């Protein structure tokens, strides 16, 4: 209440006699519509702070920053690191800034605190409707070389010419295994960059691309040169669903980060300069940049993640005179036999039929008609089966049933989480 008293009334209280007559204070308060407690608070402040200070309300809240508030020095460091990363075209979110602070020997605030610092200083735009990070459930192959992804992205030089950048990425670790620059997205260039990755890191079990003619033509009933090369090594080739780039989401996200980096280093007039920057970006991405999709508690980089787990065994090249086999209508492309070895996770892909079902391991699993025609990812071991949608989100997990009697199959519905044999 005393904070709402006008300066004029405060002056009247300050000038009020020090030894008033009986009832004089009461009548003054009634006339001016204030309480006696407010009157005496202002008089007391005159004695403590002086008449000049009593003319204005006392400030609310503590005089110093509240306990736990990030120090100005720490806040300034976080903002400077964010500025430096942004100016270099590098990711500058809270986790990236925190990793850089730890490398400088400074314990950073929490991710949420850094986000509030950036918002308060107006260096980021708040996005309250953005999906929270805690809701993400990523699909990742259990070991390096279990699946590689590749895609081409077009980049325009500052002289007006265009180039295509190929990047081969390991699904498990997000490590960039090889990259190259070519004039167009063509088969020989694709084979060249994949061969470079294989010579360094071995042969992958599976290889995922989009449906560009230079990369994968199985949806057209043909075989692209890259597919033929990979199949000669025993690699299972796959392609994403048409007009559904989320299947190659990891590679698409990598391209987004790359373009941001390259744009920050313009002008780029020659392919030679582009290759130099591409190598610089790859070294930073693999060795220095903690990846947010990996273990953030140890600032894990793609190099660290690739080395932390044993590689998936290389596939066996096909028999030169293979026996004709009937293709699995539920599998995208030519799926190799499932080697269900104890003690490890096994993975496969299955196409959802018109009734919303997939077939695997002697089971008919209902995932919903909304996924009709799309390809789901399945991981299993001796005890459980987990199904992911094409975006990598978990649909459900269920105990792995025992082998059913001959001629029957288990029916599993993630709507009921039950088993029905028929």
What CATH number is attached to the domain comprising 300? 3.30.420.10
Q: Of 226, 164, 239, nearest to 198 (Cα)?
A: 226
- Quick one: which H or E segment has residue 168? strand 162-170
Judge residue 143's burial from the number of C-beta atoms within 10 Å of its C-beta, 0-12 exposed, 13-18 middle, 19 or more buried: buried
Whether 334 maps to a domain, the answer reads no
For every one of its 422 residues, what pLDDT tens digit does the chain have, with 9 covering 90 and above? 556 788 888 888 888 888 888 888 898 989 888 888 888 888 888 888 887 777 777 766 555 555 556 788 888 888 898 888 888 888 778 888 888 888 888 888 888 888 888 888 888 776 665 555 554 445 678 899 999 998 889 999 999 999 999 999 999 899 999 999 999 888 888 999 999 999 999 999 999 887 778 788 776 777 888 888 898 899 998 876 655 555 566 767 888 889 989 999 999 999 999 999 999 999 989 988 777 667 666 778 999 999 999 999 999 888 766 555 444 443 443 333 444 444 456 777 888 898 989 988 888 888 888 888 888 878 777 778 888 776 666 788 888 877 655 667 778 887 654 444 43
Q: Is residue 242 part of a domain?
A: yes
Q: Scanning the structure block, which residue is given the tokens 């300069």?
A: 273
What does the alpha-carbon distance between residue 401 and residue 358 come to, in Å, rounded to a whole number? 16
Evaluate whether residue 61 is within a structural domain: no
pLDDT of residue 176: 93
pLDDT of residue 1: 53
Domain count, the chain: 4
- Return the pLDDT at 405: 56
Domain that includes residue 275, residue range: 148-307
Q: Measured between alpha carbons, how far is 116 from 107 in angstroms, rounded to an integer?
A: 17
Whether residue 142 lies inside any domain: the answer is no
Question: What SS3 class is residue 129?
Answer: coil
Residue 63: inside a domain: no
- Do 104 and 28 lie in one domain? The reply is no
CA dist., res. 204 & res. 143, Å (int): 10
223 backbone dihedrals φ, ψ, rounded to 5°: -125, 120
350: nearest Cα among 314, 379, 308, 321: 379
168 touches 179 (CB < 8 A): yes
> For residues 149 and 239, what is the distance between their CA atoms, to the nearest angstrom?
10
**Same-domain pairing of 177 and 254:** yes
Give CA separation, 68 vs 74, 113, 241, 313, in Å.
12, 11, 50, 51
Residues in contact with 253: Cβ distance below 8 Å, sequence separation at least 6, in sequence order: none
225 in the same domain as 303: yes
Same domain, 174 and 286: yes
Q: Is residue 135 part of a domain?
A: no
Cα separations (Å) of 318 from 149, 181, 236, 336?
22, 31, 11, 10
Could you tell me the CATH number of the domain that includes residue 391?
2.30.30
> Quick one: which of 356, 351, 355 has its CA closest to 333?
351
Structure tokens at 167: 């990047």
**376 & 241 share domain:** no
122: left (phi over 0), alpha (psi -120 to 50) or beta: left
Looking at 259, 277, 307, which one is the last position of a domain?
307
Q: Which helix (H) or strand (E) holds 185?
A: none
Other C-beta atoms closer than 10 Å to the C-beta of 39 total 21
**Residue 332 within a domain:** no
Quote the DSSP letter at residue 15: T
Residue 289, token pair as written in the block: 């940049």
* Structural domain contains residue 330: no
Say yes or no: 105 and 197 in one domain.
no
| One domain for residues 288 and 160 | yes
Instruction: Tell me: do 164 and 283 sit in the same domain.
Output: yes
Amino acid 121: pLDDT: 83
Domain co-membership, 228 together with 161? yes
Are 370 and 254 contained in the same domain? no
Do 21 and 85 belong to one domain?
no
Do 277 and 152 share a structural domain?
yes
Q: What is the DSSP letter of 286?
A: I
């Amino acid at each position: 209440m005393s904070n709402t008293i006008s300066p004029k009334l405060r002056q009247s209280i300050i000038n009020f006699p020090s030894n008033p007559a009986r009832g004089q204070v009461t009548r003054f308060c009634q006339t001016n519509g204030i309480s006696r407690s407010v009157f005496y608070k202002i008089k007391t402040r005159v004695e403590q702070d002086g008449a000049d200070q009593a003319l204005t309300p006392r400030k609310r809240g503590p005089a110093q920053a509240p306990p736990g508030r990030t120090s100005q020095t720490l806040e300034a460091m976080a903002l400077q690191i964010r500025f430096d990363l942004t100016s270099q075209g590098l990711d500058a979110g809270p986790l990236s800034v925190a990793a850089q602070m730890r490398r400088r020997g400074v314990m950073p605030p929490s991710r949420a605190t850094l986000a509030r610092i950036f918002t308060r200083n107006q260096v980021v735009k708040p996005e309250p409707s953005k999906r929270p990070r805690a809701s993400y459930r990523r699909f990742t192959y259990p070991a390096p070389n279990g699946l590689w992804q590749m895609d081409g992205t077009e980049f325009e030089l500052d002289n007006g010419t265009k180039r295509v950048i190929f990047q081969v990425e390991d699904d498990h670790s997000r490590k960039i295994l090889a990259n190259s620059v070519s004039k167009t997205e063509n088969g020989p260039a694709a084979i060249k960059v994949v061969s470079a990755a294989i010579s360094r890191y071995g042969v992958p079990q599976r290889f995922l691309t989009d449906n560009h003619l230079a990369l994968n033509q199985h949806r057209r009933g043909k075989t692209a040169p890259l597919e033929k090369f990979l199949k000669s090594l025993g690699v299972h080739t796959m392609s994403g669903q048409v007009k559904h780039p989320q299947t190659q989401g990891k590679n698409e996200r990598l391209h987004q980060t790359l373009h941001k980096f390259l744009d920050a280093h313009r002008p780029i007039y020659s392919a030679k300069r582009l290759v130099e920057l591409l190598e610089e970006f790859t070294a930073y991405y693999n060795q220095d940049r903690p990846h947010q999709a990996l273990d953030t508690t140890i600032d894990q980089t793609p190099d660290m993640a690739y080395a932390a787990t044993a590689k998936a065994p290389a596939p066996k090249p096909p028999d030169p005179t293979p026996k004709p086999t009937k293709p699995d209508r539920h599998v995208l492309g030519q799926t190799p036999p499932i080697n269900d070895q104890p003690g490890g996770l096994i993975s496969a892909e299955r196409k959802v039929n018109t009734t919303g079902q997939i077939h695997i391991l002697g089971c008919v699993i209902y995932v919903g008609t909304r996924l009709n025609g799309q390809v789901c990812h399945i991981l299993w071991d001796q005890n459980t089966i987990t199904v992911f949608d094409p975006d990598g989100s978990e649909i459900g997990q269920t105990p792995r049933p025992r082998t059913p009697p001959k001629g029957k199959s288990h029916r599993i519905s993630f709507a009921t989480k039950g088993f029905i044999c028929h």
